[in-house]
Structure 1
Amino acid sequence: MPTSAMHVARTGLEAQDARMRVIANNLANVGTTGFKRDRASFETLAYQDVRVAGTQSSSETKYAIGLNLGTGVKVQGTARIETQGALNTTSNALDLALDGNGYFQVQMPGGQIAYTRAGNFARSPEGQLITAQGYPVQPGITIPENATEITVGLDGTVSATIAGETEPSQLGQLTLASFANPAGLQAAGDNFLLETAASGAAQVGVAGQEGRGSIRQGMLEGSNVNVVEELVDMIECQRAYEVNSKMISAVDEMLRNANQTL
């Protein structure tokens, strides 16, 4: 039985609802450190071939065109747009921004490694470099209690001046993870991403090498959400939603009239 126009319009409503949720999430995170905007992608559902082009129209002729009826649309997936966000100066020694590709590594409860672009780090009571949630940054960096003038180099080298010493001491080096397909990382909330089969295995190395970005101390990467662009998309989505809603109303009225007439 051919798919009704009512069904096609309803799939359009569902698709636009999903798109609106993506836009709303982007706008909600316009001020989130290191946030990357999402984009919804769509694909057509299966077509119903009422008449296939090239079939016989008579004993001597063939149809030049076919009759194919679409059955609607569905959400194909959401893709994260990995463009660089603006780097904002904070002058906080433990605020770190990535200028280029790569992710900081964080050890989650249970030992799993997560990845993030949000470098608003802090120091635990034990001196560990941690995230706002208290998760240790990897490789582990311990800052002595009497350390002053903490510096982080472009390559992730962490140094500090220790009381009683004249020369800065190297405390360790932060490394970055990169992926063959960063869009395949799974969002886990709290600005964290998790490795998946689609992202490929993490390639860990020194910042500034092998295509990885540099680490900028005293800065944070802002969201890459463009508010004007999102609002334009929202208006377009709203119009498409209205069109599909009116189509449902029109089809419903047509069916009502047909039932009354018959």
Structure 2
Amino acid sequence: MFPITACQEFDRSLAPIQSVSFDISEADPLADVTVNIEYGLPDGCYSFDKTKTVEITGGFDIGVWIKRPVNSQACTAVYTIESTMVDLGKRFSPGNTYAIRINGEDHSITIPKKGTSPDTIIKPAIISKVEIRIAESYPPQVFIDIRGLLTDSCTTLNGVDTKRQGNVIDITVTTQRPKDAVCAQVVSYFSTTVPLGSDFAADQTYTLRVNGQAQQFNLSGNPNQTLRPTQTATPPITKPPSSAVPPESVLPPTTFPSPGRTG
């Protein structure tokens, strides 16, 4: 008789995300997008499990999963960073903006129009200062002044995407740089102003998120609030319910027609 070996069981969880960047190919006629993701392994017993990509309205939802043996005890207390790439395929139209959600964090990319530099890396900007300005008008107008870093001489501001759901305003600021370009390591700054309009009530509190940094404001408080991003601790491990399993991919190769083909 052969010995029976029990299958090893694992606890699976969403990985803490460290950084995200995007590689965008030249559109011909559609662009290919590759998502570069750095994620954390909280201790020596964790390892990469899998990525799962789901198409959502206006973009994609990506899950990066890690695993740890059940009942593991002797684990080195060392936090390490690993990376993975997710190729979303050649299905992105020039000039359009797409939502990319990674382990619950919202990002957006704008596909360069034809004639712009190919192989552009677009990623969330480093934000150094956010100021809320409430104009002395009736009704009051709200403006968001944003200042951020350009990490080298080739990096420029790519775009600003604003979304609002009720009392929550999400602003995503991205920068762009040519892939593999040799650039002077000179840090500079950019500034941009985002008008939010006048659809605000004096008795309500609103949440503003700029590249994931959340702050609250209201019209009755200080009309010129300066918000500085704060350092955050390592993101916690998010475990799914015991009955949940990593979702299967719903990206069949025929979701988007190939260029030049007709049905």
| TM surpasses 0.5 | no
| Superposition TM-score, scaled by structure 1 size | 0.22
Max Rg structure: 1
Q: Which has the higher contact order (CA 8 A, sep 6+)?
A: 1
Higher helix share: 1
Structure holding more strand per residue: 2
* TM-score for the superposition, normalised by structure 2: 0.22
